[in-house]
């Protein structure tokens, strides 16, 4: 299929009908309902074994996973640092950390259940006597729960690409951590109010309902420019998932910067003030992910960056919500709609990930 150029002025509805054969826009529309269903699915009645794991003095939780299946672990890690009672650490690899022992609870997540890095690390953890909770739709990981007394399964929902299943996966992960008392339990009425607000935002950003709105405008701005996203430490999982969604859905690179750390090095590369020579970053689209409860000094650092940015193509995407959890999910909604819209404007089917498929085929051939 020939690449569709933006100057052809094909509207987004036409592009979606032609290119979105995998229903990626439909999955974005269902995000909040996926969250609601996942939060409701995990409780002590549905999984009585959770009672046996309550009160165990775990050193912490090690989250095993890759790609979209690992993203939820990073969100959990940030929430634990914000208001949890023990560390949650993410491991994206075949092997366990050298310090790992059976005092750590393992949360192994793979949408397919067959992610080879996650399977190998999970089997190693079980071999060391660790307790493992698996979140998967099936596959080898789900099978481990049938063969090991130390392994428990929380089934997820299949039939879609892993990166579109974040709502299914993360809500189950979060509800599991709540049930075990590792993260504080959100009151039912507060959760429902949060989900209603997020659903309203999701409808607002639906580009098929508003093909000339802010999401479409921002995506059109991003077409011919390098992309960067910057935000505070507590929004790091949203920054990284933003990059990953842009990578997979739109087949574009995106640079990530985290405040305040980037001010101690990357600020010089951005330029804009006090640099010898001309800045090379005037053509960047620079997105700032923020929220109302940023640390005051970090907010001042961001204000300085905005004032001295070398590019005029800068957007502040302020996450709305009454908690860090809600703000992170708000940013997820923006990034999903934005990355899919950018893919359509580039003439790309947002579902296709041919290089990943090719790599997986290669790895299977050399086993």
Angle between helices 166-179 and 31-41 (to 10 degrees): 30
Q: What is the mean pLDDT of residues 235-252?
A: 97
The predicted pLDDT at position 269 comes to: 86
Q: What is the mean pLDDT of residues 197-219?
A: 95
The predicted pLDDT at position 367 comes to: 73
Q: What is the mean pLDDT of residues 353-358?
A: 82
Share of the chain above pLDDT 70, in %: 95
The predicted pLDDT at position 129 comes to: 98
Write down the mean pLDDT value for the chain. 92
Q: What is the mean pLDDT of residues 55-64?
A: 97
Gyration radius of the chain's alpha carbons: 21
Residue 144 class from Cβ within 10 Å (0-12 exposed, 13-18 middle, 19+ buried)?
Answer: buried
Assess whether pLDDT exceeds 70 at residue 52: yes
Tokens of 162: 């892993």
Assess whether pLDDT exceeds 70 at residue 280: no
pLDDT band at 7, cuts 50/70/90? Answer: very low
Assess whether pLDDT exceeds 70 at residue 304: yes
Tokens of 268: 């010089």
pTM: predicted TM-score of the whole model, two decimal places: 0.93
pLDDT band at 8, cuts 50/70/90? Answer: very low
The predicted pLDDT at position 272 comes to: 62
Helix (H) or strand (E) holding 367, with range, is: none
Q: Can you list the domains of the chain with their CATH numbers?
A: 28-185 (3.40.50.10490), 210-345 (3.40.50.10490)
Q: What is the mean pLDDT of residues 40-68?
A: 96
Assess whether pLDDT exceeds 50 at residue 342: yes
In this predicted model, which residue has the larger pLDDT, 121 or 5?
Answer: 121
Rounded Cα distance, 124 and 112, in Å:
19
pLDDT band at 34, cuts 50/70/90? Answer: very high
In this predicted model, which residue has the larger pLDDT, 201 or 363?
Answer: 201
Rounded Cα distance, 25 and 291, in Å:
26
Assess whether pLDDT exceeds 90 at residue 335: yes
**Poorest-confidence range of 165-174, 195-204, 268-277?**
268-277
The predicted pLDDT at position 181 comes to: 96
Strand partners, 91: 64
Q: What is the mean pLDDT of residues 171-181?
A: 98
Rounded Cα distance, 303 and 344, in Å:
33
The angle subtended at Cα 306 by Cα 304 and Cα 308, nearest 5°, is 70
Rounded Cα distance, 93 and 3, in Å:
36
Assess whether pLDDT exceeds 80 at residue 62: yes
- Give the burial string for 174-208 (b: 16+ CB within 10 Å, else e): bbbbbbbebbeebeeeebeebbebbbebbeebbbb
The predicted pLDDT at position 273 comes to: 58
146: number of CA atoms within 13 Å, CB side?
7
Assess whether pLDDT exceeds 80 at residue 4: no
What 3-state class would DSSP assign to 22? coil
The predicted pLDDT at position 3 comes to: 41
51: number of CA atoms within 13 Å, CB side?
5
Share of the chain above pLDDT 90, in %: 83
Of the candidates 116, 60, 68, 125, the residue with the CA atom closest to the CA atom of residue 93: 116
């Amino acid at each position: 299929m020939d690449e569709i150029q933006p100057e052809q002025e094909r509207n987004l509805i036409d592009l979606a009908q032609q290119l979105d054969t995998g229903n990626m826009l439909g999955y974005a529309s269902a995000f909040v309902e996926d969250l609601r269903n996942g939060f409701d699915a995990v409780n002590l009645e549905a999984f009585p074994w959770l009672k046996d794991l309550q009160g165990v003095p775990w050193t912490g939780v090690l989250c095993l996973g890759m790609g979209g299946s690992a993203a939820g672990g990073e969100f959990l890690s940030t929430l634990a640092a914000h208001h949890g009672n023990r560390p949650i650490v993410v491991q994206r690899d075949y092997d366990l950390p050298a310090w790992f022992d059976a005092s750590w609870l393992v949360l192994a997540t793979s949408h397919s259940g067959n992610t080879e890095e996650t399977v190998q690390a999970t089997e190693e953890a079980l071999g060391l006597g660790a307790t493992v909770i698996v979140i998967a739709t099936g596959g080898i990981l789900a099978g481990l729960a049938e063969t090991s007394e130390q392994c428990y399964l929380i089934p997820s929902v299949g039939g879609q690409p892993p990166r579109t299943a974040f709502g299914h996966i993360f809500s189950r992960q979060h509800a599991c951590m709540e049930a075990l008392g590792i993260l504080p339990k959100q009151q039912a009425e507060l959760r429902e109010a949060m989900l209603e607000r997020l659903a309203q935002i999701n409808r607002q950003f639906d580009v098929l309902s508003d093909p000339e709105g802010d999401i479409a405008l921002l995506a059109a701005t991003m077409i011919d420019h390098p992309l960067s996203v910057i935000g505070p430490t507590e929004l790091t999982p949203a920054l990284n998932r933003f990059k990953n969604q842009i990578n997979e859905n739109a087949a574009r690179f995106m640079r990530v910067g985290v405040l305040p750390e980037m001010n101690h090095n990357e600020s010089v590369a951005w330029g804009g003030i006090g640099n010898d020579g001309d800045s090379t970053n005037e053509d960047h689209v620079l997105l700032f992910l923020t929220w109302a409860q940023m640390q005051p000094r970090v907010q001042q650092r961001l204000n300085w960056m905005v004032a001295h940015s070398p590019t005029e193509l800068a957007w502040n995407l302020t996450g709305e919500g009454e908690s860090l959890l809600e703000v992170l999910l708000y940013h997820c909604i923006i990034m999903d709609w934005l990355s899919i819209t950018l893919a359509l404007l580039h003439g790309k089917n947002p579902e296709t990930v041919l290089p990943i498929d090719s790599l997986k085929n290669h790895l299977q051939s050399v086993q």
